[in-house]
């Protein structure tokens, strides 16, 4: 085949050699400037499809694809570029556009500027307005949350929300109230999912109560309050349950209580032990003394006070982990540091 323009022999495209084809057909119409909004709060860029968090170079590539179509007859175009920063919001770009036509690749270089307009994305706008749809409440069953629990739940929620931030999940406000935590969340689904995840991780029960909030485009809008109640006790707690003194061996999926006098373990649903009360108790490893009376006496490591241990520890054991309450000393089945957190 011969080029109709220059007569060169070789492959032709619409009658032209590659050189003359490229001369006649520009790959793209190069824009002098590409403007884009970027959220001043979260750094997302605004694309045709919506806001998206990308780094600057990926964002620029996506903007080129969106805004600079291949000129006909090129079927496809790809971009590479080098950016030079003029200031935080202005970049001068040297771009290479590669147009494809059949098996031909034509390269066109051009310069343009990327101008970033600070703005606020939809999510951040809602967040700034203290927007919320649902409320997630975290409480203890018949007790206040302990400070370590408060810290752990806050960290847990922050990590979960961070992971689903792309789907518009955010917490607009968090309050410590009545020995618990309230999270104001961007969607009801987020509140429900977080409640379930917290119950899975920390134990406890979940409930939800929707309240009609208003109407939006003819649809009823509900505000859902999701409530997680963390178990009434923590592992290591010593409780009085139906006249017996027990230590808490587990809190989920069931509460397991071990009777300190008999050593017998039983499991309960959280609501079955709602009436149980925590007792002040210490747990430590104690020296065991055996006076000639045949008793086993645990010695408090600080006060030196001695109390008979129930049930009696194994023969010859010189030390044992005991639970020390106002009513006596009991052998514990847990390690001495079980209730430290």
What is the smallest separation between the CB atom of 338 and Zn ion, expressed in angstroms?
Answer: 45
Q: Are strands 219-230 and 104-119 parallel, antiparallel or unpaired?
A: unpaired
Segment lying near Zn ion (by CB under 5 A), choices 33-41, 69-77, 96-104, 321-329: 33-41
Q: Binding residues for Zn ion, how many (CB under 5 A)?
A: 12
What is the smallest separation between the CB atom of 11 and Zn ion, expressed in angstroms?
Answer: 11
Determine, following the binding rule CB under 5 A, whether residue 20 of this chain makes contact with Zn ion: yes
DSSP 8-state assignment for residue 46: E
Compute the distance between CA of residue 270 and CA of residue 69 in angstroms, rounded to an integer: 63
Nearer to Zn ion, 2 or 213 (CB): 2
- The phi, psi pair for 300, rounded to 5°, reads -65, 130
Q: In the set 26, 31, 41, 290, which binds Zn ion (CB under 5 A)?
A: 41
Q: In the set 6, 107, 158, 201, which binds Zn ion (CB under 5 A)?
A: 6
Grouping H, G, I as helix, E, B as strand and the rest as coil, residue 57 is: helix
Segment lying near Zn ion (by CB under 5 A), choices 9-17, 196-204, 269-277, 325-333: 9-17
CA-based R_g, the chain, Å: 35
Determine, following the binding rule CB under 5 A, whether residue 37 of this chain makes contact with Zn ion: no
Name the CA dihedral angle for 45, 47, 53, 58, rounded to a multiple of 10 degrees: -90
Segment lying near Zn ion (by CB under 5 A), choices 6-14, 99-107, 111-119, 261-269: 6-14
Determine, following the binding rule CB under 5 A, whether residue 172 of this chain makes contact with Zn ion: no
Segment lying near Zn ion (by CB under 5 A), choices 14-22, 26-34, 217-225, 247-255: 14-22
- The phi, psi pair for 209, rounded to 5°, reads -130, 110
Q: In the set 5, 197, 282, 327, which binds Zn ion (CB under 5 A)?
A: 5
Determine, following the binding rule CB under 5 A, whether residue 42 of this chain makes contact with Zn ion: yes
Grouping H, G, I as helix, E, B as strand and the rest as coil, residue 234 is: coil
Determine, following the binding rule CB under 5 A, whether residue 40 of this chain makes contact with Zn ion: no
Nearer to Zn ion, 121 or 171 (CB): 121
Q: Which of 20, 26, 29, 27 is nearest to 1 (CA)?
A: 20
Nearer to Zn ion, 41 or 193 (CB): 41
Question: Environment class of residue 246 by beta-carbon count within 10 Å: exposed (0-12), middle (13-18) or buried (19+)?
Answer: buried
Nearer to Zn ion, 8 or 336 (CB): 8
Determine, following the binding rule CB under 5 A, whether residue 17 of this chain makes contact with Zn ion: yes
Question: How does DSSP assign 121-140, residue by residue?
Answer: -HHHHHHHTT--SEEEEEEE
Compute the distance between CA of residue 111 and CA of residue 140 in angstroms, rounded to an integer: 62
Q: In the set 27, 36, 39, 288, which binds Zn ion (CB under 5 A)?
A: 39
Q: Contact residues for Zn ion (CB under 5 A)?
A: 3, 5-6, 8, 17, 20, 39, 41-42, 44, 121, 124
């Amino acid at each position: 085949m011969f080029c109709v323009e220059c007569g060169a022999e070789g492959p032709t495209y619409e009658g032209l050699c590659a050189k003359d084809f490229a001369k006649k057909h520009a790959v793209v119409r190069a824009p002098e400037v590409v403007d884009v909004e970027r959220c001043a709060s979260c750094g997302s860029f605004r694309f045709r499809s919506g806001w998206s968090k990308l780094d600057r170079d990926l964002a620029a590539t996506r903007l080129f694809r969106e805004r600079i179509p291949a000129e006909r007859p090129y079927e496809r175009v790809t971009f590479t570029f080098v950016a030079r920063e003029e200031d935080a919001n202005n970049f001068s770009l040297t771009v290479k556009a590669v147009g494809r036509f059949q098996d031909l690749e034509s390269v066109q270089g051009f310069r343009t500027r990327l101008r970033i307009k600070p703005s606020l994305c939809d999510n951040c706008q809602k967040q700034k307005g203290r927007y919320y749809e649902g409320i997630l409440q975290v409480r203890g069953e018949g007790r206040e949350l302990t400070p370590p629990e408060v810290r752990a739940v806050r960290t847990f929620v922050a990590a979960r929300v961070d992971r689903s931030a792309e789907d518009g999940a955010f917490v607009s406000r968090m309050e410590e109230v009545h020995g618990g935590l309230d999270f104001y969340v961007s969607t009801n689904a987020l509140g429900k999912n977080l409640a379930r995840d917290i119950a899975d991780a920390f134990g406890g029960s979940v409930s939800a109560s929707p309240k009609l909030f208003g109407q939006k485009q003819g649809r009823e809008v509900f505000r859902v309050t999701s409530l997680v109640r963390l178990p009434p006790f923590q592992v290591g707690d010593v409780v009085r349950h139906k006249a017996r003194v027990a230590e808490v061996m587990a809190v989920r999926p069931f509460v397991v209580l071990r009777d300190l006098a008999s050593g017998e373990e039983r499991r309960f649903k959280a609501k079955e032990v709602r009436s149980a009360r925590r007792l002040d108790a210490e747990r430590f490893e104690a020296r065991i003394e055996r006076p000639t009376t045949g008793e086993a006496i645990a010695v408090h490591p600080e006060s030196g006070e001695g109390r008979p241990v129930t049930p009696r520890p194994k023969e010859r054991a010189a030390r044992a982990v005991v639970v020390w309450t106002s009513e006596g000393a009991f052998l514990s089945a847990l390690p001495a540091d079980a209730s430290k957190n």
